[in-house]
Every structure is written in structure tokens, then in C-alpha cells.
């Protein structure tokens, strides 16, 4: 898939990964890029930079997602690619409050479902369309220090996988973006990326390059950090050994020991 000439929507587009994707899609010659975010000023700033369209959208509200899709298709054109990118992290384990669990569940999982409900029927009718779900390597491995993030990102990967299976035969292409730590507001909140930054903190512009390449190759699983594939293979080949290694890493994290970075 080429982005050139396409109408693209990106949620969480005001900063971090979302902003980098918006800018790269514009550079690739997208027909229009809709920068959607709950942060209106941030969305407007990115949209102004790339001559795109800014939209306010709280992805926790299904009505906001529906309004975003309707506005785009009525004022800009049929959506070719929807990047369901907005996400948050919550620090902690089982002690995290129900309110925090609900919020991260709504943003990291339910928002993707709202997007699918709003756009997939339209794309099926047109016989084409693509959806990218920003998950995380935490959804393939785990996230030491954040149980809610790990759980919701596992759910996001499973959702993307099932959508790809269910609708692939109807002209819908689904992608799952699963990076480790990327320089963003989220990683600044979470100890510079924490254990996820063990292989380095990637710049969002570098991640955007990986996304464009995956689109061209039509690769479902987008792994900007190449090491993640090796970690997945180790996990699958000997789950118990992998768990033991992760437990050791957990201990180092708890003790505040330095984590090796490339």
C-alpha cells in the first residue's frame, strides 16, 4: 500500500508517534491528513504544519469517533487509512484503581472497536480500506512496571489479528504497530521508557519510516525494533525459560539496577 493520494486519519495525532505519522504521511503525498486528538491546540499545530485538517476527538466516546469519521468522509473524502493510534499508560500492578483500569481499557482497547464499527462497513462497501492499530511490543511480550498497559496492549494485538482474519477477504487490510520505547510524552511519564527502553529510545520519525516500509510490503505486524522478533521467538520456543528471564529483569527493575541499553 502506498499512502500517496490517500485520505488518512490519525488519532492521538497531536504529539509523539501520532504527530510523526501525520507528518510522514504528508511527506509521502497523502491527499489529506486528518489530525485528531483530544488536545485541540496540539492537533491544530500539527495540522497547520502539514496543511492538514484538525479535529477534536476523545476516543473514549464512541460518538466522537463516529463524528470524526462522518466529518472526514463528508468534508474531506472517503477514508483510505485510519490509524487508531491514541493510547495511554498506567503505572502499577493489581493495585491500580478501577477508575484507572476503566480509562486505559477505554482508550487502549474500546477506542479501536469504535473505529472498526465506524469505518469497516464503509470500507467493505467500497471494497477497500486499511486500518492501523497502534499496540506495543508489550502486547507481544509484557510491560514490566505496568500491568494495565500490558493487558490492554495484548488485547489490542488480539483485536487487530482478529480483524485481519475476519475482514481480510473483503478488501480490508489491518496492521498492528508494536514498537518498544519511543520518545514521547508517554515514555517521559514512565521513567524514560523503563524496561522497554533496554534496546534504546527510538525517535518517532524513525518509527514512521518503519510504518511506511511495512505498508509497502503489506506486513501485518510492524516491528520498528527488530529485536522484538527475536524476543517473540524465544518466548514461543521456551515459555518457561522466557518467564524466568523476565522475572530476573523484574527483580533488577524493582531494585533500581541499571538496564543495559544499546
175 is catalytic: no
Maximum CA pair distance of the chain?
55
Provide the 3-class DSSP secondary structure of residue 26.
Answer: helix
Catalytic residue among 114, 149, 175, 231: 149
Residue 11 bridge partners (DSSP): 36
| Residue 142 a catalytic site member | no
- In the numeric block, which cell numbers belong to residue 191? 521513567
* Residue of 179, 172, 137 whose CA lies nearest to 21: 179
* 136 belongs to the catalytic site: yes
Look at the alpha carbons of 222, 39, 123, 27 in this order and tell me if their dihedral is positive or negative: negative
For the beta carbon of residue 242, count every other beta carbon within 10 angstroms: 18
Cross-strand pairs, 181: none
Active-site residue, selected from the candidate residues 136, 142, 146, 150: 136
Residues 6+ apart with CB under 8 A from 154: 138, 139
Q: Which of 233, 227, 176, 234 is nearest to 202 (CA)?
A: 227
Which of 6, 23, 44, 153 is an active site residue? 153
Active site residues: 136, 149, 153
Amino acid at each position: 500500500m502506498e499512502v500517496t493520494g490517500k485520505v488518512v486519519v490519525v488519532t492521538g495525532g497531536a504529539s509523539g508517534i501520532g504527530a510523526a505519522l501525520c507528518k510522514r504521511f504528508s511527506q509521502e503525498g497523502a491527499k489529506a491528513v486528518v489530525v485528531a486528538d483530544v488536545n485541540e491546540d496540539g492537533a491544530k499545530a500539527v495540522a497547520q504544519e502539514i496543511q492538514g485538517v484538525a479535529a477534536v476527538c476523545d476516543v473514549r466516546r464512541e460518538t466522537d469517533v463516529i463524528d470524526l469519521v462522518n466529518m472526514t468522509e463528508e468534508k474531506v473524502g472517503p477514508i483510505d487509512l485510519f490509524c487508531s493510534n491514541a493510547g495511554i499508560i498506567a503505572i502499577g500492578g493489581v493495585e491500580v484503581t478501577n477508575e484507572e483500569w476503566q480509562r486505559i481499557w477505554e482508550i487502549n482497547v474500546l477506542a479501536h472497536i469504535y473505529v472498526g464499527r465506524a469505518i469497516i462497513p464503509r470500507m467493505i462497501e467500497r471494497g477497500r480500506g486499511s486500518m492501523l492499530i497502534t499496540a506495543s511490543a508489550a502486547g507481544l511480550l509484557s510491560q514490566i512496571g505496568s500491568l494495565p498497559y500490558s493487558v490492554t496492549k495484548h488485547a489490542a494485538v488480539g483485536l487487530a489479528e482478529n480483524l485481519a482474519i475476519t475482514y481480510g477477504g473483503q478488501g480490508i487490510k489491518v496492521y498492528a504497530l508494536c514498537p518498544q520505547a519511543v520518545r514521547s510524552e508517554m515514555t517521559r511519564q514512565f521513567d524514560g521508557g523503563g524496561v522497554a527502553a533496554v534496546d534504546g529510545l527510538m525517535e518517532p520519525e524513525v518509527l514512521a519510516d518503519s510504518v511506511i516500509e511495512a505498508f509497502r510490503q503489506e506486513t501485518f505486524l510492524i516491528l520498528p525494533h527488530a529485536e522484538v522478533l527475536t524476543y517473540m521467538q524465544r518466548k514461543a520456543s521456551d515459555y518457561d525459560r522466557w518467564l524466568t528471564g523476565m522475572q530476573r529483569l523484574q527483580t533488577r527493575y524493582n531494585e533500581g539496577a541499571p538496564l543495559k541499553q544499546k
